[in-house]
Structure 1
Amino acid sequence: MDTASARRESEDIDANVAARQERQAILTSAKPTTASFILSESCLRRQVGTMWTMREQLDHLAEIALQQNINLQVLPFDAETPPGGVSFNFTMLRIPSNGIAADLEFVYVECLDDARYLDDKDAVSAYARLWNQLQAAALSPKKSLSVIRSVRKQYSE
């Protein structure tokens, strides 16, 4: 890899981090949006980066989980899940209507080298059913917070 490529890659990473931080800010703004998250237990336990990084990430998750506008659930390893239900990431988005048209609902599916936005009613309904199944299989928000804190302690050792 040449120096110019490394510099471009570093700039891309910095831009992506900045964009992600801006998106996260809407959860803690003066008028925060409501959001629900289901995290696989594996993302809490698989170490990415240093022990310090994991502690910081888990502390952040615990802090976010306490917010009134956030519903955070952990899907444990032993949960019964629908076939293929946890083999990929997806985000369901609903943008409320201003009263003139219906709410805008779509699904964002992220792949290794691509992303897709689905707004077909049948596709959105299928993902909504999957979401409901995963949410039912996940731990309650209170139990999820306990799991996050428990895993956090393991990174303190």
Structure 2
Amino acid sequence: MRDRDDVERQVEVRLERQKVIDRPDGPELNLILSESALRRDLGDPAAMREQLTHIATLANRSNVTIQIFPLGAETYLTASYNFIILRFGEEVASDVVYLETFTDADYLDSPEALRAYNRLWGRLQAAALGPAESRRLMLRIAGEMK
């Protein structure tokens, strides 16, 4: 179990990291979230409603694209794993796949891994709702939380 100081430090780091997206030269952020994650009851409904509304607001930014993978969409077995593709420029050779596990993290940069994760990303994007439809769904789920 983590001590209070450790948790507070992690919260501070995450809040600072969130500010990066607000910068004029901020990165482009493309997310696909599972609808099941949005509907999961993790505690206080008011806090969850506020978080969903905040995420929907972020989706209005020009450098942020959020898509929702709906419950009824065709599921790919590999879609249940979280992954992040980090792109550092136009050069594909600089891309890295980041995989976070329960106790560690891995960085993959082999051409085979990059191709596989880029293909998976494309399939997930095609199966997910579009950005506008995703935003409406987030707001509808937020409104359903009592």
Shared fold by TM > 0.5?
yes
- 1:92: which partner in 2? 85
Query: Unaligned stretches of 5+ in structure 1?
Result: 1-5
Asked if 1:32 corresponds to 2:22, the answer is: no
Report the CA distance between 1:80 and its aligned residue. 1.1
CA distance in 1, matches of 2:20, 2:84: 16
1:24-68 C-alpha deviation (Å, 9 max, x unpaired): 211111222111000000111002231122012101101101111
Q: Percent identity?
A: 39
Between structures 1 and 2, the one with greater helix share:
2
CA distance in 1, matches of 2:63, 2:122: 19
Report the CA distance between 1:87 and its aligned residue. 1.6
Aligned residues between the structures: 146
CA RMSD of aligned residues (A): 1.7
What secondary structure sits across from 1:108 in the alignment?
strand
What secondary structure sits across from 2:12 in the alignment?
helix
Listed as ranges, the matches of 1:56-67 within 5 Å are 56-67=50-61
Asked if 1:73 corresponds to 2:70, the answer is: no
Report the CA distance between 1:152 and its aligned residue. 0.5
Asked if 1:109 corresponds to 2:96, the answer is: no
1:67-98 C-alpha deviation (Å, 9 max, x unpaired): 1111100000111132x22221100000116x
Structure whose alpha-carbon radius of gyration is higher:
1
1:4-27 C-alpha deviation (Å, 9 max, x unpaired): xx7x52222222222222222111
- 1:23: which partner in 2? 17
Report the CA distance between 1:127 and its aligned residue. 0.5
Does the 8 Å contact 1:88/1:110 carry over to 2?
Answer: no
CA distance in 2, matches of 1:24, 1:81: 30
CA distance in 1, matches of 2:47, 2:84: 24
